[in-house]
């Protein structure tokens, strides 16, 4: 079975689709059960009762088609599990859930501890300066692209498109993070800083030579891919090989 606890918005959460699969229940029935006791689930939300349950789309490769699921925190997951009558299948999955929550929380604790390390702090500080230089250049590139006939909507996407392309080439990202660089290791921060410089230079060189903006982006992507192939990918939040407890 795939990972049942993941990092979502910087905290351990589990999706109702995988929970339903583990408990051998129909996902629709699990959703009905949660909605029946919705106030109790909201009471167990980390941010308080005023916030709705977190919903995300299940990828079609998991569900056969894109459907919505709730992303439950540990307390909500425990409460949901308590509603189900115990059987060997249910108990086995509850044990798996408990182990995975402990493992993910230990990983996050280690990430937070690394933020006190001088090497990490310096890498993060240097990285912020390099990223600022890059975003300034991207801003100029967006205006450059618009002057060459690019649409406002399409050109404004270059901030996110370039970042997504770079992260996808350099890292294996499982989960969802508020700020991806805040959970990188010092070594990963140095790698992404180099990539920022590569992107910055390619954009500036292309604009200086008056190259068509779409061709400049193709060159930026090609340069990042070459760098990624030379350096290799690394997984976000894999600082230790943690064993099951």
Identify the domain containing residue 155 by its residue range: 117-235
- For residue 228, is it left (φ>0), alpha (ψ between -120 and 50) or beta? alpha
Task: Decide if 243 is inside a domain.
Answer: no
Domain boundary among 113, 137, 165: 113
Task: Decide if 1 is inside a domain.
Answer: no
Same domain (yes/no): 142, 108:
no
Same domain (yes/no): 33, 133:
no
Chain centroid offset of residue 43 CA = 26
Tell me the sheet residues that pair with 12: 7
Same domain (yes/no): 65, 129:
no
Map tokens 């290799």 to a residue: 232
Q: What single string gives the DSSP state of each residue in 62-125?
A: HHSS-EEEEEE-HHHHHHHHHHSPP-HHHHHHHHHHHHHHHHHHHHHHHHHHHTTSHHHHHHHH
* Number of domains comprising the chain: 2
Task: Print pLDDT tens along the chain (245 aa).
Answer: 567 899 988 889 999 999 999 999 999 999 999 999 999 999 888 765 556 788 888 876 666 677 899 999 999 999 999 999 899 999 999 999 999 999 999 888 888 888 889 999 999 999 999 999 999 999 999 999 999 999 999 999 999 999 999 999 999 998 888 899 999 999 999 999 999 999 999 999 999 999 999 999 999 999 999 999 999 999 998 644 443 43
């Amino acid at each position: 079975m795939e990972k049942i606890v993941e990092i979502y918005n910087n905290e351990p959460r589990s999706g109702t689709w995988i929970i339903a699969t583990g408990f051998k229940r129909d996902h629709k029935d699990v959703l009905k059960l949660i909605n029946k006791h919705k106030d109790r689930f909201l009471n167990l939300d980390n941010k308080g009762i005023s916030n709705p349950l977190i919903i995300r789309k299940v990828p079609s490769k998991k569900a056969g088609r894109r459907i919505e699921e709730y992303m439950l925190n540990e307390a909500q997951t425990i409460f949901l599990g308590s509603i189900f009558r115990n059987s060997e299948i249910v108990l086995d999955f509850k044990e798996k859930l408990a182990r995975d929550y402990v493992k993910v929380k230990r990983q996050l604790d280690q990430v937070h501890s690394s933020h006190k390390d001088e090497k990490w702090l310096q890498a993060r500080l240097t990285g912020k300066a390099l990223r600022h230089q890059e975003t300034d250049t991207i801003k100029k590139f967006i205006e450059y692209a618009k002057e060459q006939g690019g649409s406002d909507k399409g050109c404004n996407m270059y901030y996110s498109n370039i970042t997504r392309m770079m992260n996808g080439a350099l890292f294996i990202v499982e989960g969802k993070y508020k700020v991806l660089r805040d959970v990188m290791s010092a070594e990963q921060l140095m790698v992404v800083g180099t990539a920022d410089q590569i992107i910055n230079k390619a954009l500036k060189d292309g604009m200086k030579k008056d190259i068509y903006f779409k061709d400049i982006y193709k060159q930026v992507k090609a340069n990042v891919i070459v760098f990624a192939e030379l350096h290799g990918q690394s997984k976000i939040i894999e600082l230790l090989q943690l064993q099951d407890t």
